[in-house]
């Protein structure tokens, strides 16, 4: 092997060791090497599951702040519900659980402001029903199915 090949091999080994040690240090202090901010909002119990909303991002990175709807049964891992990945939510109210189901209102950006939608689950295993709302819910309260 030539001197250049040995130097390149030595450089690659040192780079790999550096990346492994940097990842171990990040993990040891409670983060990740390329982490994002995630905060789980307080959960509500409904239909035998625990439901929570998670906000991802802080608005200071190139990727946008977004929310996801999570649920789990007992100590199982959280499940991300596909309704959460329909777009970037700029605001969120809920979740609220009552006899009508689990509801949350989400706002997405539009040229004229925010478009509000109500996402309703009648059962934990049912597909969500998404309906448009004419305006932001007043007093940060969600309308019921009859309103």
What average pLDDT does the structure give for the chain?
A: 78
pLDDT tens, residue by residue, 80-89: 877 654 455 7
**Which of 71, 78, 40 has the alpha carbon at shortest distance from 56?**
40
Q: What is the pTM of this model?
A: 0.60
> d(Cα 83, Cα 127) in Å, to the nearest integer?
9
pLDDT range class, residue 18, cuts 50, 70, 90 = very high
Selected residue with higher pLDDT from 25 and 16 = 16
Peptide bond preceding 95 in cis form (omega within 30 of 0) = yes
> d(Cα 142, Cα 144) in Å, to the nearest integer?
6
**Is the sign of the CA dihedral 135, 141, 144, 145 positive or negative?**
positive
**pLDDT reading at 53 higher than 90:** no
């Amino acid at each position: 092997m030539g001197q250049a090949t040995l130097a390149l091999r030595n450089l690659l080994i040192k780079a790999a060791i550096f990346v492994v040690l940097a990842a171990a240090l990040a993990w040891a202090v409670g983060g990740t090497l390329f982490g994002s901010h995630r905060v789980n909002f307080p959960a509500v119990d409904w239909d035998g599951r625990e439901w929570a909303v998670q906000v991802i991002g802080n608005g200071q990175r190139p990727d946008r702040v977004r929310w996801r709807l999570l649920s789990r049964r007992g100590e199982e891992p959280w499940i991300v519900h596909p309704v959460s990945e329909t777009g970037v939510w700029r605001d969120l109210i809920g979740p609220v659980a009552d006899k009508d189901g689990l509801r949350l209102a989400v706002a997405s950006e539009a040229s004229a402001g925010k478009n509000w939608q109500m996402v309703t689950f009648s059962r934990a295993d049912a597909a969500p029903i998404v309906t448009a709302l004419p305006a932001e819910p007043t007093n940060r309260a969600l309308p019921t199915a009859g309103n």
